[in-house]
Amino acid sequence: MKLSEICKEINIDFSGADIEITGLHTLNEATSSQISFFNDKKYIDQLSTTSAAAVLVSSNYANLLPENVIALVTDEAYLKLALVSKFFAHKIVTTGEEPHVGESCSIDTKASFGRGVVLGDNVTIMAGAYIGDNVNIAANTLIYPNVTVYHGSAIGANCIIHAGAVIGSDGYGFAHTRQGEHIKIYQNGNVIIEDDVEIGANSTIDRAVFGSTYIRKGSKLDNLIQVAHNCDIGEHSLLAAQVGMAGSTTTGRNIVMGGQSATAGHLHLEDFVTIAGKGGVTKSLKGGKTYAGFPAIDHKTWLRLQAKLAFLVKKK
């Protein structure tokens, strides 16, 4: 869309070149044909270095942008972002076409496909599965019944996706008006699942707002797991049943999360972190250690704490 058209739709005035806008992205990743936004002071250093074509920004910070970046001045940058995101959302259609199929594939006649699907050699897709527009599935991957893979997702080689899993559903993102209404932020990224990954039954992997949600190679996810938008789960990680990863959680390799453990958003778990069952992670964690409890602390410290509590209760 032309920038002038976008600004008219969201009721913002601007001055500068009326350029073609191809999408949205973060300040540090936006290109010269994309719009970005600024609503959090922790990203203030990125204002002066962004390559975005235009940035939704309050008047207090507009002067920090590079000279060639157009300031779209607003005191509701996040809300305006939500409104703009709709213009670049994937167009949903119900008609599909035959996928491009590699050699020796086995596809049930009750599987459904969108447009532009590409399957590698020896892919198996069972009854009731839906594979959306422009999905790529690499060789030797097995898709069990009633799996849904949303548009734009990419699944690597030698993967197993168990029944009822949903790959690429929208992340949980909303901007809020002053009247308390919740405006959808359209999730225009995708999901990338690398090679040798197994996803358990009825698990959900949300697509990214921008960019990609990643499940890195060799990771194994149990049943009933929620991975939110823009998470990046490191190589060879193990997640037990009912784990929940809040948005933009990133991890190193070989993390282990026990059943019903969870993370808050925008945290990083370093390599070889282990979280005991029901552990609640509220801050980024150093690698090579085991943590337990809520909020999650060093496991040995948590055990001593439980012993002292049990002793106090017993004394009464």
Last residue of a domain, one of 88, 116, 141: 88
Cβ count near 300 (within 10 Å): 11
Residue-wise pLDDT for 82-133, tens only, equals 999 999 999 999 999 999 999 999 999 999 999 999 999 999 999 999 999 9
Q: How far apart are CA 33 and CA 22, in angstroms?
A: 6
Last residue of a domain, one of 22, 53, 88: 88
Q: How far apart are CA 237 and CA 254, in angstroms?
A: 4
Instruction: Please enumerate in sequence order all residues whose Cβ is within 8 A of that of 227, keeping only pairs 6 or more positions apart, or say none.
Output: 203, 204, 205, 206, 213, 215, 221, 233, 245
Instruction: Decide if 288 is inside a domain.
Output: yes
> Same domain, yes or no, for 55 and 169?
no
> Same domain, yes or no, for 80 and 170?
no
- Looking at residue 29, its amino acid is E
Q: Yes or no: say if 225 and 244 are a contact pair by the CB < 8 Å rule.
A: yes
> Same domain, yes or no, for 176 and 274?
yes
In the predicted structure, residue 316 carries a pLDDT above the cut 70: no
Three-class DSSP category at 160: strand
Q: How far apart are CA 271 and CA 234, in angstroms?
A: 8
DSSP annotation of 274 reads E
Instruction: Decide if 128 is inside a domain.
Output: no
Q: How high is the pLDDT of residue 314?
A: 80
Residue-wise pLDDT for 289-299, tens only, equals 999 999 999 99
pTM higher than 0.85: yes
| 256's tokens | 């282990």
Instruction: Decide if 125 is inside a domain.
Output: no
Q: How high is the pLDDT of residue 15?
A: 81
In the predicted structure, residue 219 carries a pLDDT above the cut 70: yes
39: containing domain: 3-88
CATH code, domain with 34: 3.40.1390.10
Instruction: Decide if 141 is inside a domain.
Output: no
CATH code, domain with 258: 2.160.10.10
Number of domains forming the structure of the chain: 2
Tally the C-alpha atoms within 13 A of residue 204's C-alpha that lie toward its C-beta.
14
> Same domain, yes or no, for 176 and 296?
yes
> Same domain, yes or no, for 198 and 77?
no
Last residue of a domain, one of 88, 114, 133: 88
| 300's tokens | 């040995």
Mean pLDDT of the chain: 96
**Which phi and psi angles does 26 have, rounded to 5°?**
-70, 165
Q: How high is the pLDDT of residue 17?
A: 84
In the predicted structure, residue 205 carries a pLDDT above the cut 80: yes
Instruction: Decide if 138 is inside a domain.
Output: no
Active-site residue list: 229
Instruction: Please enumerate in sequence order all residues whose Cβ is within 8 A of that of 174, keeping only pairs 6 or more positions apart, or say none.
Output: 82, 182, 183, 184, 185
Instruction: Decide if 309 is inside a domain.
Output: no
> Same domain, yes or no, for 71 and 192?
no
> Same domain, yes or no, for 169 and 292?
yes
Instruction: Decide if 310 is inside a domain.
Output: no
Instruction: Decide if 267 is inside a domain.
Output: yes
Residue-wise pLDDT for 220-242, tens only, equals 999 999 999 999 999 999 999 99
| 227's tokens | 């991975």
